[in-house]
Amino acid sequence: MNKKKLIPVFYASDENYMPYLGVALTSLKAHASAEYTYKIHVLYTGELNGYATKIREMNDDNFQIEFTDLTEKIDEIQDMMHCRDYYTSAIYYRLFIPALFPNYDKIIYADCDTVLCADIAKLYEIEIGEKIIGAVADRAVASVPAFREYTKNALDIDAEKYFNSGVIVMNLKKFREIDFYTKFCEILRSYDFVVAPDQD
């Protein structure tokens, strides 16, 4: 009997976003295929309230959800993090995935306010080769003159290459090879991203 292929999917949430995470996971499970096993990792800080109990009830043989507390990791970079308005430290949780999960070479990261309309395994199966990520350009940034200027002048990035960070395929093997976490911390110490800190 062949073992089913594992599709690892990561979400980041604090206690405030747990209700939305429940919706995201419900949509993921609704479109999941019996051909795969889905391993869902929820990275969190704060309290796991009643929503987490309800989310765990979604577990079955094909769909497994695991919670990982990142409080200690976030405390390590607390003095460097840039957040504003409704942004919380949850936007940084994905940065710890390559080091904390060495058993994976490739994963999908999705924001917990996403709703899926198809099987996420289709996204996972897209070949990205040696690229560090697979992502979609943020067309809103490329089409608004003020945003184009911002990406050029503040970030030194071509607006056409500015991507949406809410759904990405991550090549964890490559992340580890280039020591991404160290490089990212160096950037955090040097810049203050105040417009869209999770994407900038």
Per-residue pLDDT tens digits for 41-79: 999 887 777 888 889 999 999 999 999 988 887 777 666
Q: What is residue 17's predicted lDDT score, i.e. its pLDDT?
A: 82
Contacts of 74 (CB under 8 A, 6+ apart): 45, 81, 89, 92, 93
pLDDT tens-digit series, residues 13-40: 877 788 889 999 999 999 999 999 999 9
Q: Is the pLDDT higher at 40 or at 198?
A: 40
Question: What is the distance between the terminal CA atoms of the chain, rounded to a whole angstrom?
Answer: 46
Other beta carbons within 10 angstroms of residue 103's beta carbon come to 8
Backbone angles phi, psi at 60, to 5 degrees: -150, -170
Residue 17: burial class (beta carbons within 10 Å; 0-12, 13-18, 19+): buried
Q: What is the 3-state secondary structure (H, E, C) of 104-133?
A: CCEEEEECCCCCCCCCCHHHHCCCCCCCCE
Q: Tokens representing 198?
A: 């999770």
Q: What is the pTM of this model?
A: 0.88
Q: Tokens representing 21?
A: 């995470």
Q: Tokens representing 16?
A: 């405030």
Element (H, E) at 79: none
User: What b-and-e string marks burial along 85-95, b requiring 16 or more CB atoms within 10 Å of the CB?
Assistant: eebbbbbbbbb
